[in-house]
Amino acid sequence: MRVSIKTLGCRLNQAESAQYEALFKAAGCQIVPYGAECELCVIKSCSVTARAESESLRIARSIKRSQPHVFIVLTGCAVESLEREKFETLDVDLIVSRADKEQLVATTLAAMQTECAEITHPVHPVFSTHRALLKIQDGCNFFCSYCIIPYNRGAPVSRTFDECLDEARAFIDAGLQEIVITGCNIACFESADKKLPDLIEAIAALPGLGRVRCGSLEPGTVEIEVAQRMAGNDKICPFLHLPLQHCDDRILRSMNRRYTSSEMRGRIEKILSLVPRVALGSDIITGFPGEDQSAFNNTKAFIEDLPFSNLHVFPYSERKGTAALKLQDSVAPALRKERAKELIALGERKRRDYTASWVGSEVEIIVEKFDKNKAARGWSAQYIPCRISGIAEKAQAGLLGKQISFTAQSVADNTTLSGSIKNQVQGSQR
């Protein structure tokens, strides 16, 4: 039986879909790309915004129109949303809720009355790239006023420390050089007396690993402890994505965030003292209810003052079921977008500046592919896209998925570090 999986949303969804794919393969099914002819299609939905939820609905409808014979399974965050009645009117064959998602593959095959191979050994996700997504926990209980996810994902639940390490070893054994730690709120990870910084350090110590990268990490939690581990271990990527969402104290209180702007400035400055060239990413919402020009200016000044290298900026959108929906002083949608556009431009400038600061430095990448000009492409540990020329064609196949170093010589297209390892003594592979 041919199975396709359509995944919307975050890395956590991608990690869960990869697990489904591995289980379907172990059961004897063939995985085909989304859109190809198939007998079963699983839609891993997203509900982080109303638009994402609507896209999940649209995809389900379009599949039934184009391939009416396909058995459609709908799962993911949108299934749990307060708009559930919309999903139950869809022409889908099976809806799998959060409570049942671990049994999705077995439940689906049973519903289709399909015979399958018995799975008698642990099955780990399989990835088409040269990096693995390691899911360490699910759920969140922070209840930020704009966010529906705690209602859809439930309270935090962590995998065991040993289970996470076993899966990391399996990824390394499969030849994957980079492990990206992901979850709904990875700062909530806790197993016995072990927390996220302990897990990162343990993964970094595994033989054969190229590097480990921390996924999005809630500010005001364990980011300093993670940076302390990072400072003493070159296998831990010097990259921290801290989704601040805003940098004005009044708006932060309305968002039910757990810190003030001055507290976060102090924490970021501490991180910079520990890892001076760390890459800092963040998410920022513009036009949240009550955001006047002064509040917006405070956010803009905060971003301007600190060396952020990667900003994800988006205008606020109302979300049914969240506390923010009841807030007064709504900002006009056009102004939300205008402010987002201004911060996006600021973020692009800061990203260019950060990228340019690496010219003349040695940079390591994991080779993801070779482009049409035979140049190696990949991401640095700081999450900078890189392009390396000068690699002999006969050596290229052996370098895919491997970690190599080069000296950055220029910045192309404003954001890509470029260089060559041809005749370069420093060029190395590991």
Selected residue with higher pLDDT from 127 and 24: 24
Q: What is the mean pLDDT of residues 42-64?
A: 85
Residue-wise pLDDT for 78-94, tens only, equals 888 745 566 566 778 99
Q: How far apart are CA 36 and CA 24, in angstroms?
A: 17
Q: What is the model's pLDDT at position 297?
A: 98
Q: Where are the beta strands (DSSP E) in 200-278?
A: 211-214, 239-241
133, 178 in Cβ contact below 8 A?
no
Q: What is the model's pLDDT at position 426?
A: 36
Please, how many CA atoms are within 13 Å of residue 97, restricted to the half-sphere of its CB?
Answer: 8
Please, how many CA atoms are within 13 Å of residue 226, restricted to the half-sphere of its CB?
Answer: 31
What CATH code is assigned to 362-429?
2.40.50
Pick the CATH number of 131-356 from 3.30.420.40, 3.80.30.20, 3.40.50.620, 3.40.50.300: 3.80.30.20
Selected residue with higher pLDDT from 60 and 345: 345
Provide the β-strand partners of residue 405.
364, 428
Q: Is the pLDDT of residue 206 over 90?
A: yes
Average pLDDT, the chain: 92
Residue-wise pLDDT for 363-373, tens only, equals 999 999 999 99
Backbone angles phi, psi at 326, to 5 degrees: -90, -5
Q: How far apart are CA 334 and CA 184, in angstroms?
A: 31
All structural domains of the chain with their residue ranges:
2-111, 131-356, 362-429
pLDDT band at 247 (very low <50, low <70, confident <90, very high): very high
Look at domain 2-111 and name its CATH class. alpha beta
Q: What is the model's pLDDT at position 125?
A: 86
Residue-wise pLDDT for 108-128, tens only, equals 999 998 877 777 677 888 787
Q: How far apart are CA 339 and CA 43, in angstroms?
A: 34
pTM (global) more than 0.85 = yes
Mapping DSSP to helix (H, G, I), strand (E, B) and coil, where does residue 394 land? Answer: helix
Q: Is the pLDDT of residue 8 over 80?
A: yes
Mapping DSSP to helix (H, G, I), strand (E, B) and coil, where does residue 3 land? Answer: strand
Selected residue with higher pLDDT from 176 and 91: 176
Q: Is the pLDDT of residue 20 over 50?
A: yes
| CB within 8 Å of 359: residues ≥ 6 apart | 408, 409, 410, 411, 417
Q: Starting at the edge strand that comes first in sequence, how are the strands of the sheet with 40-45 ordered?
A: 30-31, 2-7, 40-45, 71-76, 94-95
388-398 per-residue burial string, b: 16 or more CB within 10 A, e: under 16? bbebeeeeeee
Top mean-pLDDT range of 85-94, 95-104, 214-223, 404-413: 214-223
Q: How far apart are CA 40 and CA 34, in angstroms?
A: 10
| CB within 8 Å of 193: residues ≥ 6 apart | none
Q: What is the largest CA-CA distance in the chain?
A: 64
- The dihedral built from the CA positions of residue 369, 372, 376 and 380, taken in this order, carries a sign that is negative
Mapping DSSP to helix (H, G, I), strand (E, B) and coil, where does residue 78 land? Answer: helix
Q: What is the mean pLDDT of residues 263-290?
A: 98
